[in-house]
Amino acid sequence: MCGIAGLISHQREKETGERIKKAMVLQNDRGNGLGAGYAAYGIYPVYRDHYAFQVMAETSFALNAVSELLHNNFWVAHTEEIAVWDKVITDHPLFMRYFVQPKIREKESNPDDFVMEKVMHINTSIDGAFVCSSGKNMGVFKGVGTPKDIYEFFRLDEYHGYCWIGHNRFPTNTPGWWGGAHPFNLLGFSIVHNGEISSYGINKRYLEANGYICTLLTDTEVVAYLLDLLIRRHGLSIMDAVTVLAPPYWSTAKRYSDPKQRDKMIGMKVIYEPAMLNGPFAILAGFDGGLFSITDNTKLRPMTVGTTSEYTYFASEVSALYEMEQDFTQVVTPRAGQPVIVKYHTNAKGD
Amino acid sequence: MSISKLGLQSTFRPTFDLELCDGCGQCASECTFNEIKMVPHGDSQIPVANRRSCGACHRCEIMCPRGAIKIIEDPFVTRPHGIWTPHHINRTHLQASTGSVALTGFGAETNVPVWWDRMLFNACQVTNPSIDPQREPMETITYLGRKPVSFREVDDPSALVNRLIPVNIPVLFAPMSYGSINLNLQKAMARVAKKLGLLWYTGEGGLHKDLYPFTDWAILQVASGRFGVSPDYLKMGRAYQIKIGQGAKPGIGGHLPGEKVLEGISETRMIPLHSDAISPAPQHDIYSIEDLRLLIYAIKEASGYKPVCVKIAAVHNVAAIASGIVSAGADMVYLDGFRGGTGAAPNIVRDNVGIPIEIALAVVDQRLREEGIRSQASIVAAGGIRNSADIMKAIALGADAVAVGTAVLIACGCHGCQRCSSGKCPWGLTTNDPELSGRLDVDWAEDRITNLIKAWHHEIQEIMGLNGIYDIGSFRGNRLLLRGVDLDEKELSLLGIKYAGE
């Protein structure tokens, strides 16, 4: 059991994390204090074109190693300690933020691929260091503690973003540790997840064959990497990627009356069989263009959605929706396997 | 007994309850090995065993209308010895008598470990719910063949879907040629494949004309003897299989003696009546991987680019060989482990050559993934698959599908007497003797095989459901669903699984 909440302003109106915190605190009992985290989009307008590496390190030695690696491979525009209030949590790793651009010639390599490769490299080869997030104009803040502790520890009332997601963890299969808290991020994708991914064994092997390395001891990690593979590297639309992760049953796909639609669905199911997610899950995923949720085909984990003309809200529990907004135009519970995709308005503000 | 009978001792015999026996003589007519003879007894007659040729096929026992027969063990006792067991002493006597290679059928009987039995499944408890297959969909549909790496490479999804071969359950009927088995059994398998949406392999004996209506579910074989291969044959099948090797006898060919080449077989194999049908050990146009590539593409050209499968025996270097086969253009790789069955093979080869399918499958799947070519070919695992647990363990190790042969024979009456090569199969399976093959009723065999597959299908769905997985695709290659017991570090690493408790 875990708790999830998210909100997105269609017009990219910014706000602090106050409302997402309230939704998460209400769902406090969905976790056990062993992990909570937030992701915020639109928080670094000054460096919006730079990759924001938010790095967690257990020792200053590890942090130095990361620093050196980043300086060797990137133009580092700005470095700063991630401000924390350590009265809330005294025993914590070190946090550092780097705004960087890859030192590559454009034709040589895709900058996103370069960043992904360096993230994998840091996570696997620098002992005690992990990249919490590596996207542009966004950041992930996570650790061991309750949603309230983590919110206060990272001083999230000082950040202003137009899309926020939160997570509250009740770890069951893997240890509760700072790197294992949600959200999981790669480039623009940030994932929070309630549930357990029974297909993890094959998802992990599939990703490893595609150059990803699963290091964080948690099944949710694969979702971030799968989205990166499907959307960024294979060029699938968000809708197709979501369909690949939680596809319709064969019995449904084969009943499609339009043969083109049917064959496209069968083709995607066949090609991406090892990417399909199985097991109980409700997932909320932030990306550069918006926010979406998916649930498993049997709907073994909860997800509710509330909308107004300006905002869309997601939460595990309906009551949490009302912590963020009182006056909804509608509150719906998506059907099993039904995705909800929200994109920013085309005329929304630039950052 | 006489000295000429050295080595021919049977270790089983039928016993007769003479109080139940009414002397009808059915047992004597059922036994194809002359173990039972009727002798006069008072006004009537009674059966007597000659105690020399019983192979425990249980035909007499099961067919006795009075239930008066029981097959018992009748050990041939030698002084206990750890090395020279009765089996080896008998074998030595036999070969000293005959001077010939000892032939056998069925699959290997050595005590090499069965790794299937050392792997256990996971199950859901608390944190993830199991799914009840009685209430929720539990799907086993599998598409076989070459798949693109990315959907971006697909211009026409319909063309892709038409090129692939769907099966409703990833269980196929292993290649058993017309000749090694009879037409009745092939008909039964073909009917079940069509009815349940599976596939059956013809084996190397060609395709009898009675089976033409079942070619949409058939993978037709091209083996070293090229029996039955014609331009029409190369157009009819759903897919084709090039047979390089067989798990029961890697590296050697086959020989169907002329006396067994009867009319139907002669016609189907396209060879003269009563001529020996010899399958050379290698395909004489394939001495290298480049040659294999030529044949793969020759068959693709001739068949209008239908999928081509290459069957190999699991041998030491199987991962590298499989990788070469995929690079050479095969759409499926069929791995036959050393426990695979045979109609006839030298005993010494059957029990001593090749490696088990569990290990072979695990290393091939891993190797193809590491090389980024796993999606280019489906893996079919065969050779010693006994039940639905073995099937699902193979799927979890990475097989796209499994093939079963011996289990089909057993479903149709076989009790494993291992005398398939004799041509006297009492159950009418591995014989083409017109009278004996008549013992196998096609409708009955179809029902038996259908039942077996349906029973397995239910069990497969249970195993998926108790792991909370509703689509077999998420089971495939998902080695975290398995844990090992009684395995050492090396075995665990080859199988790519963790130890129980980890």
Q: How far apart are CA A109 and CA A2, in angstroms?
A: 39
The single residue listed with the structure tokens 């770890």 is A171
Q: Does any domain span residue A123?
A: no
* Confidence check: pLDDT of A216 > 90: no
Confidence of residue B3 (pLDDT cuts 50, 70, 90): confident
Contacts of A279 in chain B (CB under 8 A): 128, 468-469, 474
Q: Does any domain span residue A164?
A: yes
- 3-state SS assignment for residue B457: helix
Q: What is the mean pLDDT of residues B10-36?
A: 94
Q: How far apart are CA B313 and CA B340, in angstroms?
A: 9
- Whether B344 and B195 map to the same domain: the answer is yes
- Whether B88 and B173 map to the same domain: the answer is no
Q: What is the pLDDT of residues B45-103, one digit of tens each?
A: 999 998 889 999 999 999 999 999 999 999 888 999 999 998 899 889 989 988 999 88
Residue-range definition of the domain harbouring residue B450: 118-128+145-460
| Bond into A183 cis (ω within 30) | yes
A253 touches chain B (CB under 8 A): no
* Confidence check: pLDDT of B7 > 80: no
Confidence of residue B178 (pLDDT cuts 50, 70, 90): very high
- Whether B181 and B304 map to the same domain: the answer is yes
- Whether B201 and B328 map to the same domain: the answer is yes
Chain A stretch 50-69, residues whose beta carbon is closer than 8 A to a beta carbon of chain B: none
B285 touches chain A (CB under 8 A): no
* Confidence check: pLDDT of B342 > 70: yes
Q: Does any domain span residue B496?
A: no
- Whether B75 and B124 map to the same domain: the answer is no
**Of B113, B106, B120, B199, which Cα lies nearest the Cα of B389?**
B120
* Confidence check: pLDDT of A1 > 80: no
Residue B388: which H helix or E strand, with range? helix B388-397
Q: How far apart are CA A211 and CA A69, in angstroms?
A: 19
User: Inter-chain contact A199–B160, Cβ cutoff 8 Å?
Assistant: no
Question: Residues A2, A132, A163, A214: which is the catalytic one?
Answer: A2
Q: What is the mean pLDDT of residues B454-479?
A: 97
Q: What is the mean pLDDT of chain B?
A: 94
Q: Residues of chain A with pLDDT > 70: what percent?
A: 96
Query: In Å, how far is B473's CA from the nearest CA of chain A?
Result: 6
- Whether B268 and B340 map to the same domain: the answer is yes
Residue B299: which H helix or E strand, with range? helix B289-303
Q: How far apart are CA A248 and CA A296, in angstroms?
A: 10
Per-residue tokens: A279? 């097991």
Q: Does any domain span residue B227?
A: yes
* CATH number of the CATH domain containing B75: 3.30.70.20
- Whether B54 and B164 map to the same domain: the answer is no
Q: How far apart are CA B76 and CA A175, in angstroms?
A: 60
Q: Does any domain span residue B487?
A: no
Q: What is the pLDDT of residues A260-292, one digit of tens each?
A: 999 999 999 999 999 999 999 999 999 999 999
* Confidence check: pLDDT of B333 > 80: yes
* Confidence check: pLDDT of B160 > 60: yes
Domain count of the fold of chain B: 2
User: Inter-chain contact A198–B467, Cβ cutoff 8 Å?
Assistant: yes
In chain A the first and final C-alpha atoms are separated, in Å, by 34
Domain count of the fold of chain A: 1
B147 touches chain A (CB under 8 A): yes
B263 touches chain A (CB under 8 A): no
Angstrom CA distances, A29 to A169, A289, B67, stand at 10, 31, 68
- Whether B194 and B87 map to the same domain: the answer is no
Contact present, B249 and B347 (Cβ < 8 Å):
no
- Whether B198 and B342 map to the same domain: the answer is yes
Q: Does any domain span residue B476?
A: no
Q: What is the mean pLDDT of residues A82-108?
A: 89
The single residue listed with the structure tokens 């542009």 is A136
Q: Does any domain span residue B486?
A: no
* Confidence check: pLDDT of B128 > 90: no
Q: Establish whether A2 is a catalytic residue.
A: yes
- Whether B155 and B86 map to the same domain: the answer is no
Q: Does any domain span residue B471?
A: no
Considering only the beta carbons, identify the residue of B150, B151, B477 that sits closest to A202.
B477
Q: Does any domain span residue A122?
A: no
The 3-state DSSP composition of chain B as helix, strand, coil percent (nearest 5) reads 35, 20, 45
Considering only the beta carbons, identify the residue of B126, B164, B476 that sits closest to A202.
B476
What pLDDT is recorded for position A174? Answer: 66
Q: Does any domain span residue A49?
A: no
A149 touches chain B (CB under 8 A): no
Q: How far apart are CA A194 and CA A4, in angstroms?
A: 7
Considering only the beta carbons, identify the residue of B127, B137, B375 that sits closest to A251.
B137
- 3-state SS assignment for residue B295: helix
Q: How far apart are CA B342 and CA A37, in angstroms?
A: 60
B434 touches chain A (CB under 8 A): no
Q: What is the mean pLDDT of chain A?
A: 92
What pLDDT is recorded for position A173? Answer: 64
Query: In Å, how far is B468's CA from the nearest CA of chain A?
Result: 6
Q: What ipTM is given for this predicted complex?
A: 0.91
Considering only the beta carbons, identify the residue of B127, B160, B471 that sits closest to A172.
B127
* CATH number of the CATH domain containing A249: 3.60.20.10
Query: In Å, how far is A211's CA from the nearest CA of chain B?
Result: 10
**Of B194, B176, B196, B195, which Cα lies nearest the Cα of B186?**
B176
* CATH number of the CATH domain containing B202: 3.20.20.70
Confidence of residue B16 (pLDDT cuts 50, 70, 90): very high
Give the neighbor-by-neighbor strand order of the sheet with A51-57: A74-81, A94-102, A51-57, A129-133
Residue-range definition of the domain harbouring residue A254: 3-43+137-343
Q: What is the pLDDT of residues A175-206, one digit of tens each?
A: 668 888 899 999 999 999 998 899 999 999 99
Q: What is the pLDDT of residues A13-27, one digit of tens each?
A: 999 999 999 999 999
Per-residue tokens: A60? 């200053």
* Confidence check: pLDDT of B1 > 60: no
Count Cβ neighbours within 10 Å for each residue of B176-188 and write b for 16 or more, e otherwise.
bbbbbbbbbbbbb
- Whether B72 and B198 map to the same domain: the answer is no
Confidence of residue B2 (pLDDT cuts 50, 70, 90): confident
* Confidence check: pLDDT of A350 > 70: no
* Confidence check: pLDDT of B12 > 70: yes
Interacting residues of B117 by C-beta distance below 8 A, sequence separation 6+: none
Q: Does any domain span residue B371?
A: yes
Q: What is the pLDDT of residues B356-392, one digit of tens each?
A: 999 999 999 999 999 999 999 999 999 999 999 999 9
- Whether B153 and B300 map to the same domain: the answer is yes
Q: Does any domain span residue B280?
A: yes
Contacts of B158 in chain A (CB under 8 A): 259-260, 263
